């Protein structure tokens, strides 16, 4: 939060003016729950997107990149299905994604190239297009301004709860609203679990500024829990700006405030994903400071956050700081063992220093155990070399995680 922006209660993608949404159960999820979502704007939108860097991108990712490359100024909406990823489906999969685009466009009287599509779910299985066709036909009459919450529910896969929020931000020219929804689950730093995010705003903003703001926001939010090379075939985050507020975002102050608000919204959604990580019982904020560079800090934080030994120690509430130091040691970050310092803290307890100069301080084991037993805590590792810093949110590796992922498909 800042002086210029704040949360809107019960926010969603339909909180900003001029956006409608709807969800139906099209029969794509085996559970029979709602699984097809349409979000559209009442006019042409500026649009931007960031997508997985996985070299086996799913068909909708290929199509959205193509769509945005050709048209970033006159988008109308996004059609999303859950239950099937349309990945590893070859040319027929790409044809199915194109048909989804046409179906959405036809349903609202727009052109195919005005729609983005997203898919999440099982891999290597053709989309049941007859169900998608019937589903989109059923969606059109249901579109409404209050449709955001149902949309956030329908895009879930192994998520246990929907993730949505909205912020309003006071710009020099007036107030604009940004809404969003996301789905994630998967291990935090979710490896290959799909992360989808849809953001909407009634700000009037150029595609270039929107793209830059989105990239800046994602780098310290969704990207600080996953994505960026370490991603699924389907990870996608898109934003649509319809200008319905009549308030412009340009350069300077308005752009700074808009980006700060968008960043805050993305961070809220990203943290919801971490808190709902598969089998998560801990929410850990990981801060690396004193690295020789920002890249080194990120490297160390990434390695700590993905280490099975660190994550199982978190699950066990075990203050096993040796595993954290070892993970940093194998991360590739420049490191001098004699300069390492490590603190842990909760919101209720002051920082407790466990390591100084690379060796244990005289801390009381019970104090350390109390921090690691908390459901949320912060680990701060200082490398003592420079001013490179990084912050990541992560969670533990629990029995429940194994259960979910050993049995997901079968």
- Residues of this chain that bind a second copy (CB under 8 A): 53-57, 85, 87-90, 93, 122-125, 186-187, 191-193, 229-233, 307-309, 312-313, 315-318, 320-323, 325-330, 332-335, 337-338, 340, 355, 357-360, 369, 397-399, 401-403, 405-410
The nearest distance, CB 207 to a second copy, in angstroms, is: 28
Nearest to 171 by CA among 72, 75, 267, 243: 243
Q: Which is nearer to a second copy, 123 or 166 (CB)?
A: 123
Q: Which is nearer to a second copy, 211 or 276 (CB)?
A: 276
The one catalytic residue in 14, 52, 120, 194 is: 194
Q: Which is nearer to a second copy, 56 or 73 (CB)?
A: 56
The nearest distance, CB 300 to a second copy, in angstroms, is: 10
Distances (CA, A) of 165 to 53, 125, 159, 225, 268: 26, 32, 16, 18, 8
DSSP string, 347-373: TTEEEEEEEETTEE-S--HHHHHHHHT
**What span, in angstroms and rounded, lies between the C-alpha atoms of 191 and 54?**
11
**What span, in angstroms and rounded, lies between the C-alpha atoms of 290 and 357?**
13
The nearest distance, CB 117 to a second copy, in angstroms, is: 18
Edge-first strand listing for the sheet containing 359-360: 359-360, 349-356, 341-346, 376-382, 283-291, 388-395
The nearest distance, CB 351 to a second copy, in angstroms, is: 18
Cβ partners under 8 Å of residue 174, min gap 6: 245, 246, 247
| 3-state secondary structure (DSSP) of residue 92 | helix
Token pair, residue 137, equals: 């036909």
Q: Which is nearer to a second copy, 1 or 408 (CB)?
A: 408
The nearest distance, CB 48 to a second copy, in angstroms, is: 23
Cβ partners under 8 Å of residue 352, min gap 6: 343, 344, 345, 363, 367, 368, 371
Helices (H), 185-249: 207-219
Max CA pair span of the chain: 70
Q: Which is nearer to a second copy, 56 or 130 (CB)?
A: 56
The nearest distance, CB 330 to a second copy, in angstroms, is: 5
Annotation marks residue 361 as catalytic:
no
- Check: CB of residue 95 under 8 Å from CB of residue 137: no
Residues classed as catalytic = 194
């Amino acid at each position: 939060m800042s002086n210029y922006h704040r949360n809107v209660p019960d926010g969603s993608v339909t909180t900003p003016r001029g956006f409608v949404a709807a969800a139906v159960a099209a029969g794509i999820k085996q559970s029979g729950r709602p699984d097809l979502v349409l979000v559209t704007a009442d006019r042409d939108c500026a649009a931007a997107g960031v997508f997985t860097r996985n070299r086996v991108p799913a068909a909708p990712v290929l199509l959205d990149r193509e769509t945005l490359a050709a048209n970033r100024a006159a988008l109308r909406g996004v059609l999303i299905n859950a239950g099937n990823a349309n990945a590893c489906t070859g040319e027929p999969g790409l044809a199915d994604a194109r048909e989804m685009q046409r179906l959405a466009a036809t349903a609202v009287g727009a052109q195919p190239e005005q729609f983005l599509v997203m898919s999440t779910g099982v891999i290597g299985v053709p989309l049941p297009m007859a169900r998608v066709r019937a589903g989109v036909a059923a969606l059109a009459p249901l579109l409404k301004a209050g449709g955001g919450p149902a949309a956030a529910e329908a895009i879930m896969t192994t998520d246990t709860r929907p993730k949505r929020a909205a912020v309003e931000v006071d710009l020099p020219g007036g107030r604009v609203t940004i809404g969003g929804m996301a789905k994630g689950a998967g291990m935090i730093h979710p490896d290959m679990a799909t992360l989808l995010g849809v953001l909407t705003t009634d700000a009037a903003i150029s595609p270039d500024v929107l793209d830059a703001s989105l990239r800046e926001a994602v780098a310290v939010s969704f990207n600080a829990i996953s994505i960026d090379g370490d991603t699924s075939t389907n990870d996608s985050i898109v934003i649509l700006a319809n200008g319905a507020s009549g308030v412009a975002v340009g350069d300077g102050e308005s752009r700074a405030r808009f980006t700060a608000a968008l960043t805050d919204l993305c961070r809220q959604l990203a943290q919801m994903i971490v808190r709902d990580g598969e089998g998560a019982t801990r929410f850990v904020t990981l801060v690396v400071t004193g690295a020789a560079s920002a890249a080194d800090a990120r490297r160390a934080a990434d390695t700590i956050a993905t280490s099975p030994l660190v994550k199982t120690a978190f699950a066990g509430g075990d203050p096993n700081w040796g595993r954290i130091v070892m993970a940093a040691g194998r991360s590739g970050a420049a490191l001098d063992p004699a300069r390492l310092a490590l603190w842990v803290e909760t919101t209720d307890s002051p920082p407790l220093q466990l390591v100084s100069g690379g060796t244990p301080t005289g801390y009381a084991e019970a104090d350390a155990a109390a921090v690691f037993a908390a459901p949320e805590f912060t680990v701060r590792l200082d490398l003592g070399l420079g001013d490179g810093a990084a912050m990541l949110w992560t969670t533990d590796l629990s029995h429940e995680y194994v259960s979910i992922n050993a049995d997901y498909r079968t």
